[in-house]
Structure 1
């Protein structure tokens, strides 16, 4: 069911992006755009005009972290190296705040325009990133339409908040990492009708929560991080026997919808909401 929800919402956003006309600009929109960050990969794929986006990272094709993995199959991939990017002759490179600074500096020294995008820590950041991408690609109208569609769907979800006391949810990833109360994950959780354990513990930023503390808190829902085949030892905590004493659910797993600030975060909200309703 979630595949159909996600595919229909992405189809709408892509149609809006491709149908929107390009506004008048003081200078031409970039024609050879390269993305070297997973989140800018997906923002650009949502918004770029046909033929405008020339290359995305290999991660964009990984369905465990990318909601647009199938669409990314139609793009050339890059490995984020300055040399290969330069040879592609881009007139715009899209990067994240934590993209290797040496790569960014080298590209700028070569006279290539590099636009930096901040990681989305909230729905407000998500909107800002979409609008920024629209602005740098010359696709302002398409970006505004996607934001409007996001806000419409968000309002519909907020109007259907579950009644009664709010259950508590906690994220739980490799090495016991828990997202903070001021994070994109926290807003997903709150919109779905849960209180985030991090907020109750006063942890604004992401932090590592000892297994004992998680067991003592005994949240109603533990949202586990995605575990890959051949996982590292840091992920062994996700299968620790002590987790079996938790009285709440431990069925939810963070999907690609949680990774970047994209409209697909509302698919994550719906996934949590459906699980909550099924548990009542």
Structure 2
């Protein structure tokens, strides 16, 4: 049956119009923590620029991937010049720059959260995905991270682990380091030493109540802490010879995001390789 011209027009008018997806926002990130999220969630075509630190292999485990994109100095001038739709930034960056000026240029600034537990990390991952127009990619990343955490939890590691920097700096509950240790199935010994949040533990407390294992980070900016007397103290040296030390070489501890699962996996793998793993309850 052939429709008349009027009938065909009426039928076409009744059909739903095809929908076109809104274009993804062109984005720029201003620090390494934002770079991680941009590289892991965004469509590469929407990335305008990453921070200059993203190009440093010593500071950033994704440097090889980051070098595919232009680097910026994280200045307001960079934003005006590059004309992104979206800027991923820290609270500190927002405080230093004129948000009103950037908004006049049509730029939306999204502050990257710094959560202290996995519930917060999951929520911030989804938040960043929504801001980038990439919620499905964020959901997929969440599913992968949760599955990796579940695999880690399947093997018990009932040991007291103390995260310790050369200057005595450590991290108790309500820190992303605590989230890493819990994901690895370990007990955070800093809590037993009376530390909540970030702070220091003195030598006397460590000697009186030593952990089962020390965790030391491989952060580039920790080189300045090497002048601290704690790591050179004879009693501390003797303790480190007696108690196993897990020394991490990657620099993925500085940001509180999904990538902490990689730190947790590295910690768990080294703890599993220690001889005491099968000797202690």
TM-score normalised by the shorter chain: which range applies? 0.7 to 0.9
Query: Is 1:144 matched with 2:136?
Result: no
Instruction: Sort the Cα spacing of 1:68 and 1:198 in 2 relative to 1 into closer, same or farther, 3 A.
Output: same
Query: What's 1:226 paired with?
Result: 218
Q: Deviations over 1:107-159 (max 9, x none)?
A: 34654210111113111122112111210111111111111111112112212
Q: Normalized against structure 2, the TM-score is what?
A: 0.80
Distance 1:225 1:160, change over 3 A: closer
Whether the aligned pair in 1 keeps the contact of 2:117 and 2:179 (CA below 8 Å) is: yes
SS for the counterpart of 1:257 is: coil
**2:125·2:258 contact (CA, 8 Å) conserved in 1?**
no
Normalised to the residue count of structure 1, the TM-score between the two structures is 0.80
Q: Write out per-residue CA displacement over residues 207-251 of structure 1, whole angstroms, 9 at most, x where no aligned residue.
A: 12223333333222222232649932x322374133212131124
Match of 1:198 in 2: 190
Number of the residue aligned with 2:8: none
Q: Secondary structure of 1:74's partner? A: coil
Which residues of 2 match residues 165-176 of structure 1 at below 5 A?
A: 166-173=158-165, 175-176=167-168
SS of the residue aligned with 2:59?
coil
Q: Which residue of 2 aligns with 1:62?
A: 56
The two structures, once aligned, show a CA RMSD in angstroms of: 2.5
1:157 aligns with 2:157: no
CA–CA distance in structure 2, aligned partners of residues 119 and 230 of structure 1 = 20
- Residue of structure 1 in register with 2:199 after alignment: 207
Q: Which has the higher contact order (CA 8 A, sep 6+)?
A: 1
Alignment correspondent of 1:189: 181
Q: CA deviation at 1:100?
A: 4.9
- The reply to whether residue 96 of structure 1 matches residue 76 of structure 2 is no
Runs of 4+ in 1 over 6 A off after TM superposition: none
Q: Does structure 2 conserve the Cα–Cα contact (< 8 Å) formed by 1:37 and 1:57?
A: yes
Partners of 1:197 and 1:24 in 2: how far apart?
Answer: 54
Count how many residue pairs are aligned between Structure 1 and Structure 2. 252
Alignment of 1:1-280 (within 5 A): 28-30=23-25, 32-103=26-97, 105=99, 106-108=101-103, 110-162=105-157, 166-173=158-165, 175-226=167-218, 228=220, 231-232=223-224, 234-237=225-228, 239-242=231-234, 243-246=236-239, 247-253=242-248, 255-279=250-274, 280=276
Q: In the aligned structure 2, how far is the partner of 1:68 from the partner of 1:227? A: 15
Q: Which moved more, 1:126-135 or 1:221-230?
A: 221-230
Whole-Å Cα distance in 2 between the matches of residues 231 and 148 of structure 1?
36
**1:163-216 per-position Cα deviation (integer Å, ceiling 9, x unaligned):** xxx221111125321112111111211222321122213322101222333333
Counterpart Cα distance in 2 of 1:90 and 1:235: 40
Flag structure 2 segments of 5+ consecutive residues without an equivalent: 1-18, 277-281
Q: Could you say what secondary structure the match of 1:175 adopts?
A: coil
Which is worse superposed, 187-196 or 260-269? 260-269
